[in-house]
Structure 1
Amino acid sequence: MGDRVLMVGAGLSGAVIGRRLAEAGHAVTVMDARPHVAGNCHTERDAETGVMMHVYGPHIFHTDDEGVWDYVNRFANFLPYKNRVKSTTQGQVFSLPINLHTINQFYGRTMRPDEARDFIATQADKSITDPQSFEEQALAFVGRDLYEAFFKGYTEKQWGCSPTELPASILKRLPVRFNYDDNYFFHRFQGMPEHGYTAMVERILDHPGITVHLDTRFEPAQAEEWDHVFWSGPLDGFYGFDLGRLGYRTLDFERFRAMGDWQGCAVMNYGDADVPQTRITEHKHFSPWEEHEGSVLYRETSRECGPDDIPYYPIRLVEEKALLNDYVARARAETKVTFVGRLGTYRYLDMDVTIREAMTAAETFLAARADARPMPAFTVDPA
């Protein structure tokens, strides 16, 4: 007979783990405080325009993990989608990530790839040999002009602090291309689920061994009622934030409608520091196979996350990492709770990594039960 297992959270982590354990014969309950499944990936149609909205901001699926790609395609029909981001800065519109078109346009040149590579090398600050901050990494990478146009103001708005205070590692995943490739991602598999992420997660959860309770808040004291609990909520929230709150940035969305095509692309960044929004997203462009007369857009701004806000981006600076270590040490003593996902491990995770880690967590649980071993509190190290 299987265990009674609880998934706290009906996002990707809870759904993927729950499905695997249900298929293995365990009785799975999924509980979520929100009125819908899919967490921050939740999509729904706008009643007025029919546009598929990414309610908590855009989610674009991209991965090199063929196993994860095969998994999501079991539950949804993924259609091709390329993320081509634009940036309005210093009175012009440019293509991101920085590519040969961006460089030639910005400097008013017609350089070939090798010429552009040599030119950017002359712009880079060669005195910075061991970049410690985001700013130093950018200056060593592309020089002051491109840094101030595309990174400085945007980063200040996104993180609410100077780029001199952020670690260099944040910038290491932003490419510069010396060709005209403007596809924001470089992964083999890229696409969007034809009918949205919520429909996909509903299908993952559609199993006779899974019971879903929405609009239902879990209290940690209830953990004793289950053989095991997978917690995908905030790590500090499991303990009532009693050591203090881990820092996050949250997002505010100002939704507005328009007729026709309002901005001509899915994502328009705003690099100037004096423009409040970080970007505007036009959601019908995330489903290019559909046609709609009307349009739904989100004007997006970032700020510090308060107790009643939705946490989006973990800050993970020195103070937060010290507090994280305290919570992790405490969590490791748990014998019936495993902390999973973006919030449970206090890490920024793309969707494909979230799914892969959930698959691993499920297999770890099944192996532990088969060998009569305890299930660890973490299947990845949050630190």
Structure 2
Amino acid sequence: MKILLVGAGLSGAVIGRELAEAGHDCRIIDARPHIAGNCHTERDPDTGVMMHVYGPHIFHTDDQGVWDYVNRFATFLPFQNRVKTTAQDRVYSLPINLLTINQFFGTTLRPDEARALIESKADTTITDPQSFEDQALRFVGPELYEAFFKGYTEKQWGCSPTQLPASILKRLPVRFNYDDNYFFHRFQGMPRDGYTAMVAAILDHPRITVDLDTPFTPQMGAAADHVFWSGPLDGYFDYRLGRLGYRTLDFERFTTQGDYQGCAVMNYGDRQVPFTRITEHKHFSPWETHEGTVCYREYARAAEPGETPYYPIRLVQEKALLEQYVDLARGTPGVTFVGRLGTYRYLDMDVTIREALETVAVFNRNSDPMPAFTVTV
């Protein structure tokens, strides 16, 4: 079959590779001048630092199959994300752990003592947390919430934490030991040569052609036997029902010599600091040595038309509009919507890859007709 894949990020690359290996001819197009989507990496020409152009992407997963898959196409080296935060004129370790608790409260508590302290500060009158703020107050109390969650969340999402669902804080945001590894998955690392090189290796197949700087047109779709769309769901329909809400990021890039902040990620929890964090990119490749350094200050705001969408908002208004677009998509034959933008969900890289592989499995089962979605949107 002749397959058109719109978007040369992880979803398009993995689906294209798997279908090409199954004997299909795959054309992958992308409106941007590069492959790899938002995980695109490139060398800074002045410092030699490997840049995460659209912000840091750290690979972490418990999925053995996905870990084996990415290691087919790249050499992964160990990397653990150890985030720090500047709040109330002090630096702390994140996620909140035993060191953070002892630093913050000026104590020397053991795990059981720290657990009792946090429970004494938690608002136990909240029995069914509905909002982000409820969830935080219930589990960590007002002091830790104010220092580490409230201001950062207001900047990240552009609204009060009382307007955000409790599900954003899915897990108890406290560790009662000294483990400061931000993630808890057994496989964690970075591709030695960057994500773009990895995606290029995935796309390296004689049945795959890639056209960059190439926006989608309906004529392209009509010429294909099937289309896999990893662009914005509402964008496929020319936003005819309105635009789904996204947050986007502005990056203020700056360079200096030496080591600017001593870590890859420094959050800024205070509301009066306008940016959410500073990322120092050479620390994402700790096996490399560079005299210069490149940093990003990150500012979050509402995405405007034509800007790069990062985080789907998925509040009440957006969910209602999403349902309308999902109905429209299900009534559109010959197109399957995939990935972060196509399904309007926040996805980690490993989940994106797993869903791409499962989408191909559905396609290869000769599903007739191929559904608009292979996941619950």
The 1:127/1:221 distance shift into structure 2, 3 A limit, reads farther
Post-superposition shift, 1:219?
Answer: 1.9
Distance in 2 (alpha carbons) for counterparts of 1:255 and 1:173 = 33
* 1:378 and 2:376 are equivalent in the alignment: no
Distance in 1 (alpha carbons) for counterparts of 2:35 and 2:169 = 32
The residue aligned with 1:274 is 272
Distance in 1 (alpha carbons) for counterparts of 2:254 and 2:261 = 13
Matches within 5 A, 1:340-379: 340-368=338-366, 373-379=368-374
Match of 1:227 among 210, 225, 228: 225
Distance in 2 (alpha carbons) for counterparts of 1:336 and 1:257 = 47
Identity of aligned residues (%): 74
Match of 1:24 among 22, 31, 34: 22
Alpha-carbon displacement from aligned partner over 1:53-99 (angstroms, at most 9, x marks no partner)? 00000000000000000000000000000000000000000000000
Give the paired residue count: 377
Matches within 5 A, 1:134-173: 134-173=132-171
The 1:221/1:316 distance shift into structure 2, 3 A limit, reads farther
RMSD between superposed Cα atoms in Å: 0.7
SS at match of 2:366: helix
The residue aligned with 2:255 is 257
Distance in 2 (alpha carbons) for counterparts of 1:191 and 1:220 = 39
Distance in 1 (alpha carbons) for counterparts of 2:182 and 2:174 = 10
Post-superposition shift, 1:366?
Answer: 1.0
SS at match of 2:266: strand
Normalising to structure 1: TM-score of the pair?
Answer: 0.98
Match of 1:183 among 181, 184, 196: 181
Distance in 2 (alpha carbons) for counterparts of 1:344 and 1:40 = 14
CA contact (8 A) 1:220 1:238 kept: no
Misfit runs of 4+, over 3 Å? none
CA contact (8 A) 2:139 2:172 kept: no
Distance in 2 (alpha carbons) for counterparts of 1:376 and 1:13 = 16
Distance in 2 (alpha carbons) for counterparts of 1:175 and 1:351 = 22
SS at match of 2:3: strand
Alpha-carbon displacement from aligned partner over 1:182-203 (angstroms, at most 9, x marks no partner)? 0000001000000000000000
CA contact (8 A) 2:248 2:308 kept: yes
CA contact (8 A) 1:97 1:174 kept: no
The 1:60/1:235 distance shift into structure 2, 3 A limit, reads same
- List runs of 5+ in structure 1 lacking aligned partners: none
CA contact (8 A) 1:338 1:376 kept: yes
Match of 2:314 among 296, 309, 316: 316
Alpha-carbon displacement from aligned partner over 1:138-160 (angstroms, at most 9, x marks no partner)? 00010000000000000000000
The residue aligned with 1:288 is 286
Distance in 1 (alpha carbons) for counterparts of 2:171 and 2:153 = 14
- List runs of 5+ in structure 2 lacking aligned partners: none
* 1:40 and 2:38 are equivalent in the alignment: yes
The residue aligned with 2:215 is 217
CA contact (8 A) 2:251 2:299 kept: yes
CA contact (8 A) 2:133 2:162 kept: yes
Distance in 2 (alpha carbons) for counterparts of 1:245 and 1:223 = 22
* 1:65 and 2:63 are equivalent in the alignment: yes
CA contact (8 A) 2:244 2:321 kept: yes
Distance in 1 (alpha carbons) for counterparts of 2:305 and 2:108 = 51
SS at match of 2:170: helix
SS at match of 1:143: helix
Post-superposition shift, 1:221?
Answer: 4.5
Distance in 2 (alpha carbons) for counterparts of 1:258 and 1:173 = 37
